[in-house]
Structure 1
Amino acid sequence: MHIKKINQCKDQNELLINLDKYVKMAEEQRTSAVIINTNIIDINEMVKLKCRIPRCFHFQSCANCPPFTPDVEVFKKAIRKCNYAILIKYNVEPAEDFADRKISLKNAKLHERQIAKIVAEVEIAAFQDGYYLAMGLSCGSCRSYLCNDEICQFLDSGRCKFPRVARPSMEAMGIDVYKLVATVGWDIYPIGPEKVHHSTIPSASAVGIVFIA
């Protein structure tokens, strides 16, 4: 891959061409992807608070999960410096891997690992194109899909086993993912409570994002 020289003034036409390239890169891996303007992203503390109430079992046990992620206001201020992002929706097939609670704890992490890898690949491509502040967020807890729910090595020793792929989820940073996905016109369904039978869920997805700056 050709690595671009860093230029102080970025060419907007080249940026749009590259954004389209990143979309195509993601779409090659069973995903839907779209270029979005960051001003449509709702970042708020209620989303991050859902990690605590009701308490997620990854809360405080993973370096990329709350309460270790940056404050919502800090993240919100930083993201406003980016005009564009690539929103990526990985189609989970079969949907039961997310929706059926009997198998989701085992199978969901396979899909979460895949979207994390796609996000990392797009982020690296953008970095090598000269967008050195490109930053990707994924889905779920990296302690689950990368470390198989073992003790977070970063919290234990200060050294992450997967530094290029491990990253916070969008929700862990305060992004209202449901609202964002619905805003761009994609289908998304609330999956979680055991009393909701998986047969009532038409589809499932894992969502990630790469900010381009």
Structure 2
Amino acid sequence: MKSDKKLDKMDKISELVRFVVEKGGEATLIPAKDIVTAEWVRQKCLFGCNGFGRRFSCPPYTPTPAETRKVLKEYKTAILIKFVGDVGETTPERLVSREMTAYVQNVMYDLEMMAFSAGFYKTFGYTGHQCGLCAHCKAKDDDAEITDCVNRRKMRPSMEAAGIDVYATCASVGWGLEVLSCTEVAGGCVLDSPMTTVMLLLIE
């Protein structure tokens, strides 16, 4: 009986992985204990990203690394997901196209809903990029509260926004990530190599 239940669970997980592959990505299982969190990740958000405080999917609205560590202890398994390249046109003003942001965020939402429907009632996804669900995020307004978000049902933080070290986590499954470099051009900069988007689905 136990082996049948385990086989059924793996069949369901295989369906989730297949969905990601059909959407053009890669997916692999990872033990939740191998997901790496670090305090420096949030510090990078605070001092290295102009999105800090401008999206409800970004710090300071998202879980701290310590809070994320506590959550991860409640899971045994996760699916690590990777998309290489961009599905839309980028510009010097925007390194990642709006189309790519919408694409991966919709894939992640659909994947989480699939997992929930399959019986993984604790499932939770960490998406990629700053949230792009609204043209104007109310986080930019004065005295904003996360309850002001009009897309809370669908909005999820990225891995790094929740304090997850994406590089170290990917390394644990043999995925080597290179630090992206950019070339300055008129009006901004362009990436020197294809961007990789990494996301995570906790399943239990």
- Does TM, normalized by the shorter one, top 0.5? yes
Supply the distance in 2 between the matched residues of 1:190 and 1:149 (Cα, whole angstroms). Answer: 30
Percentage of pairs with the same residue: 27
Supply the distance in 2 between the matched residues of 1:12 and 1:124 (Cα, whole angstroms). Answer: 21
- Equivalent residue runs for 1:58-77 within 5 Å: 58-77=51-70
User: Does 2:77 match 1:123?
Assistant: no
Matched position secondary structure for 1:33: strand
Cα-to-partner distance string for 1:60-113 (whole Å, 9 max, x where unaligned):
22222111212222210111211111111122237984xxx61535x4332122
Q: Which of 172, 177, 183 is 1:183 aligned to? A: 172
The residue aligned with 1:3 is none
Cα-to-partner distance string for 1:23-56 (whole Å, 9 max, x where unaligned):
00111101111111112211111111110123x2
Matched position secondary structure for 1:62: coil
The residue aligned with 2:133 is 146
The residue aligned with 2:100 is 111
User: Does 2:198 match 1:211?
Assistant: no
With 71-80 and 190-199 compared, the bigger mean Cα shift is at: 190-199
**TM-score, structure 1 as length reference:** 0.79
Q: Is the 8 A contact 1:153 1:160 kept in 2?
A: no
The residue aligned with 1:158 is 147
The residue aligned with 2:121 is 132
In structure 2, stretches of 5+ residues that fail to align are none
Q: Is the 8 A contact 1:96 1:104 kept in 2?
A: no
Q: Which of 34, 50, 53 is 1:57 aligned to? A: 50
Matched position secondary structure for 1:52: helix
Matched position secondary structure for 1:64: coil
**TM-score, structure 2 as length reference:** 0.82
- Opposite residue 60 of structure 1, the aligned amino acid is G
C-alpha change, 1:94 and 1:160, in structure 2 (3 Å) is closer
Supply the distance in 2 between the matched residues of 1:157 and 1:78 (Cα, whole angstroms). Answer: 19
- Opposite residue 22 of structure 1, the aligned amino acid is L
The residue aligned with 1:5 is none
Supply the distance in 2 between the matched residues of 1:77 and 1:157 (Cα, whole angstroms). Answer: 21
The residue aligned with 1:19 is 13
